[in-house]
Amino acid sequence: MGEKIVIAVDCAGGDYAPHEMVKGAIEATEEYKVDVALVGRKAVLGKIARHYATTSTFEIIEASQSISCDESPAEAVRSKPDSSIVVGINLVRDGVASAFVSAGNTGAVLCAALFNLHRVKGIERPALCGIIHTNSAAPVLLVDAGANADCRPGFLVQFAQLGAFFARGILGIEVPRVGLLNNGMEEVKGNLLARESYQLLKNTSLNFIGNIEGQEILRGKADVIVTDGFTGNIVLKTLEGLGDTLHNFVEEDQATGIGHNLQGSALVSYAQLDSMARRMNYEEYGGASLLGINGNVVVAHGRSRAKAMKNAIHLAHRAAHMKTFEAIKEGQYLAR
Amino acid sequence: MGEKIVIAVDCAGGDYAPHEMVKGAIEATEEYKVDVALVGRKAVLGKIARHYATTSTFEIIEASQSISCDESPAEAVRSKPDSSIVVGINLVRDGVASAFVSAGNTGAVLCAALFNLHRVKGIERPALCGIIHTNSAAPVLLVDAGANADCRPGFLVQFAQLGAFFARGILGIEVPRVGLLNNGMEEVKGNLLARESYQLLKNTSLNFIGNIEGQEILRGKADVIVTDGFTGNIVLKTLEGLGDTLHNFVEEDQATGIGHNLQGSALVSYAQLDSMARRMNYEEYGGASLLGINGNVVVAHGRSRAKAMKNAIHLAHRAAHMKTFEAIKEGQYLAR
C-alpha cells in the first residue's frame, strides 16, 4: 500500500461490537479522510457496513474468531490465531496496516502486541498512555495508565522517556514537563517505588518537574505524568466516573426541561458545563496508545461507541502520520 | 470534666491558622453545642476569640510552640513538647479532652498520636479514614487515605475491620459492604498487594464485596473502600481537585452575572450543580479520622477554613458521643 496510511480496526471487540465499531470506523473515514480496514467476520461486517450507506471505501479483513473480555489474555492469544486481535496486530507486523485500534480485551491486545510486534529495544515494559483533558489548552498524558500493575523504578523512567517523546510528536510540545504522580510535593514523599523513581528521574535529561499530587492532575502543571499502572488505571477511571456523573447531570437536567427553558445567556453556561463533562469523558480522547512496542496500537475503552472509536482511530492516524512509532523503534525516544 | 465532651482544637496548624481555626471552633460550639478547648498561644487566641463576639464559653490551653508543614514529623514531635499538636494529643491521652482536631502537619499528628496514644492492640498500622460524598445518600469511607504509603496485605485487612466498625458507629450501617480498590473487577486483577489482600479479605467475617474500580467509587457500591495510603491519598486528592474545578466553575459563572439572571427553574439546577460541587469539596466532611490508635483524632485538610474545621469538629464530636474509639480500644472492631 506504499505510503498510504491504513488503520486496522477491531470490529469484534468491545461492549458494542460489531455495530458501533463499524460505524465509528466509517465516521473516521468521512471526518478525517483515513483509510480503514475492518477486522472481523466478513459476512457480518459487510452487511453492517452497507447499512451505514457511505461513499467511503474500506477493506474488510476476515478474522473468524474473537476474544471476549473475560478470557485469560495470554492463553486466548495463543489459542486463537484467527481472532480479530491477533489478525489486527499481525496486519501491523506485516506492514499491511499502519496501526491497530481495538476496544477488546486490553490484556489480549497487550499480549498479542508483545508476542508479535515485540518490545522496543531498551524498554522493559510497554505502557498504556492515557490522555486526560484538563482545564488548560493541552491535555496531559498519563503513563502507565494500566498495563503494568507492579512496577520497578526503572520502568517509570522508561515510561517518562516514551511519554515525553509521544507528547512531542502528538501534542507538539518541544520540551514536555514530566511529573511523578505522588502523595506529596516534597522529594522524600511517596511509597518506595515513587521515592526511588524520583531519584532516577531527576538524573535523566528529561524536563522533570518533580511530584504531582492528585488535585494537580487537571491543572495542566505537567504535560506527562508517570506512575505505575495500578495507580494510573485507578486515577483514570476515577476521572472517568466523574465525567459520567457530570454528563448524566447535564442530560437529566435537559430531559426535565430545565435546560431548554433557559435564556440565551444561561445556555452559554450549560454549554460550558457540557463541555467540561465532555472533556472528562473517555469518548473524547477515544483510546490509549501502547508505548514501547514496535508498532502503533491504540487500546480503546471497552464501553466505546462509534464516537470513541472514531477518536481512537484519529489518534492512531495522527501518530501514523507523524511516524512517531517508527521514531520510537529507532530509539529516538532516548535522544533529547 | 466527667461525661462532658470536650474537643481540643489545634489553633496553630493549617494554612489559615489561627484565625479560621478559632472561628470554626466557635461556629461548632454554636451550631452543634460542642464544648471546645482551643490549643495555641493564649494571648493570641484570646484576642481573636474576642473578635468573634460570642456567648459560647470555651477554654484556651497554652501551647507555646507550633510545628510547621515542612518540618520532619518525628523530629518535630520529639523536639517540640509544647507544640499545639503534642499538647492537644496529650489532652486526649490524659482524658482532659475527648478528641483532638488538627489541620496541621499530618505526619506530626500521626507521630504524636503513635508515640503518646499508642496503637490499638492487634493493629500494626493506624490509617486515615477519608470520607467521600457520593451520588447516593450515604458517604463512602476510604481507608487508608494517606497514612501508610507502603502496605502489606495484613494491614489492609485491619483497615477493613476498623473502617467497617467506624461505618457502623458513624454512618449507622449495620453490615457495611467492604470493597477493595483495584484496577479490575476480577479476583485475579491487581498489583501484588491487591491480589494478596483480596485472598485475605475474602476469608474474614467481613461483608467483603470484592473489587471496586475507580469509576465505581462515587456510585455508592461499597460503604468502605480499602487501599494502601499512597493510592488512597492520590484518589482522594483527585476527587478534591475536581470538586475545586466544579466549585470555581459555579462561582465564576455566578460572578459573571449569568447565574443571577437565571429564571427560577434554572436556579434549581444551579443549586443542584452547586450541591454536587460541594459534595466533592473537602470542606463538607472536614477531616479524616485516624483509626487504630487509642484516641479520637481527626486530621483536617491543611487548607481548612472555618467551615471545614467546624465540620471536622462535628465529626470528632459524633464519634466521641458514640464512644466509637473506646469500643475500638476494647477490640470490638474484631467482633461481628
Q: Is B265 a residue whose pLDDT tops 70?
A: no
Question: What CATH number should be reported for the domain whose range is B128-282?
Answer: 3.40.718.10
Q: Is B263 a residue whose pLDDT tops 60?
A: no
Q: Is A282 a residue whose pLDDT tops 70?
A: no
User: Does the beta-carbon distance from A234 to B70 stay under 8 Å?
Assistant: no
Q: How confident is the model at residue B55 (pLDDT cuts 50, 70, 90)?
A: confident
Q: Is A2 a residue whose pLDDT tops 50?
A: no
% of chain B exceeding 70 in pLDDT: 85
Q: Is A262 a residue whose pLDDT tops 50?
A: no
Of A47-51, B222-226, B283-287, minimum mean pLDDT range: B283-287
Q: What is the pLDDT of residue B252?
A: 57
Q: Is A257 a residue whose pLDDT tops 80?
A: no
% of chain A exceeding 70 in pLDDT: 85
Q: Is A131 a residue whose pLDDT tops 50?
A: yes
State the Cα angle at B49 between B43 and B55, rounded to 5°: 135
| pLDDT tens-digit map of B216-258 | 998 889 999 999 999 999 999 998 887 676 666 556 555 554 4
User: Does the beta-carbon distance from B213 to A249 stay under 8 Å?
Assistant: no
Which residues in chain A are closer than 8 Å to B240, comparing Cβ atoms?
A: 214-215
Arithmetic mean of pLDDT over chain A: 88
- Give yes or no for A302 touching B (CB within 8 A): no
Tell me yes or no: is domain A125-283 CATH 3.40.190.90: no
Nearest residue, CB atoms, B235 vs list A234, A244, A265: A234
* Residue in chain A lying closest to B239 (CA): A215
Q: What is the pLDDT of residue B264?
A: 34
* Residue in chain B lying closest to A215 (CA): B241
Tell me, letter by letter, the H, E, C secondary structure of chain A.
Answer: CCCCCEEEEECCCCCCCCHHHHHHHHHHHHHHCCEEEEEECHHHHHHHHHHCCCCCCCEEEECCECCCCCCCHHHHHHHCCCEHHHHHHHHHHCCCCCEEEECCCHHHHHHHHHHHCCECCCCCCCEEEEEECCCCCCCEEEECCCCCCCCCHHHHHHHHHHHHHHHHHHHCCCCCEEEEECCCCCCCCCCHHHHHHHHHHCCCCCEEEEEECHHHHHHCCCCEEECCHHHHHHHHHHHHHHHHHHHHHHHHHHHCCCCCCCCHHHHHHHHHHHHHHHHCCHHHHCEEEEECECCEEEEECCCCCHHHHHHHHHHHHHHHHHCHHHHHHCCHHHCC
Q: What is the pLDDT of residue B56?
A: 74
Looking at residues A147-156, what average pLDDT do you find? 98
Q: What are the extents of the domains in chain A?
A: 1-123+292-330, 125-283
Q: What is the pLDDT of residue A242?
A: 74
Arithmetic mean of pLDDT over chain B: 88
Q: How confident is the model at residue A266 (pLDDT cuts 50, 70, 90)?
A: very low
Nearest residue, CB atoms, B190 vs list A149, A219, A242: A149
| pLDDT tens-digit map of A90-117 | 999 999 999 999 999 999 999 999 999 9
- Give yes or no for B264 touching A (CB within 8 A): no
Q: How confident is the model at residue B274 (pLDDT cuts 50, 70, 90)?
A: low
Q: What is the pLDDT of residue B1?
A: 43
* Residue in chain B lying closest to A276 (CA): B246
Looking at residues A309-320, what average pLDDT do you find? 95
**In terms of Cα–Cα distance, which of B272, B269, B273, B258 is closest to A269?**
B258
| pLDDT tens-digit map of B88-144 | 999 999 999 999 999 999 999 999 999 999 999 999 999 999 998 876 778 999 999
Q: Which CATH class is domain B1-123+292-330?
A: alpha beta
Q: What is the pLDDT of residue B154?
A: 98
Q: Is B334 a residue whose pLDDT tops 50?
A: yes
Cα torsion B94, B95, B96, B101: sign: positive
Q: How confident is the model at residue B204 (pLDDT cuts 50, 70, 90)?
A: very high
Pairing state of beta strands A140-143 and A127-132?
antiparallel
Give yes or no for a contact between A153 and A332, defined as CB atoms under 8 angstroms apart: no
Q: How confident is the model at residue A4 (pLDDT cuts 50, 70, 90)?
A: confident
What ipTM is given for this predicted complex? 0.90
Nearest residue, CB atoms, A276 vs list B191, B249, B262: B249
Q: Which residue has the higher pLDDT, A70 or A153?
A: A153
Of A45-54, A69-78, A237-246, minimum mean pLDDT range: A237-246
Q: How confident is the model at residue B52 (pLDDT cuts 50, 70, 90)?
A: confident
Q: How confident is the model at residue B267 (pLDDT cuts 50, 70, 90)?
A: very low
Q: What is the pLDDT of residue B164?
A: 97
Do B1-123+292-330 and B128-282 show the same overall fold? yes
Of A203-207, A331-335, B159-163, minimum mean pLDDT range: A331-335
% of chain B exceeding 90 in pLDDT: 74
Q: Is B50 a residue whose pLDDT tops 60?
A: yes
- Give yes or no for B266 touching A (CB within 8 A): yes
Q: How confident is the model at residue A260 (pLDDT cuts 50, 70, 90)?
A: very low
Nearest residue, CB atoms, A237 vs list B213, B258, B265: B213
Q: What is the pLDDT of residue A249?
A: 59
Q: Which residue has the higher pLDDT, A317 or A275?
A: A317
User: Does the beta-carbon distance from A183 to B233 stay under 8 Å?
Assistant: yes
Q: Is A250 a residue whose pLDDT tops 70?
A: no
Q: Which of residues 63-82 of A touch B (CB under 8 A)?
A: 70
Q: Which three cell numbers stand for residue A227?
A: 506512575
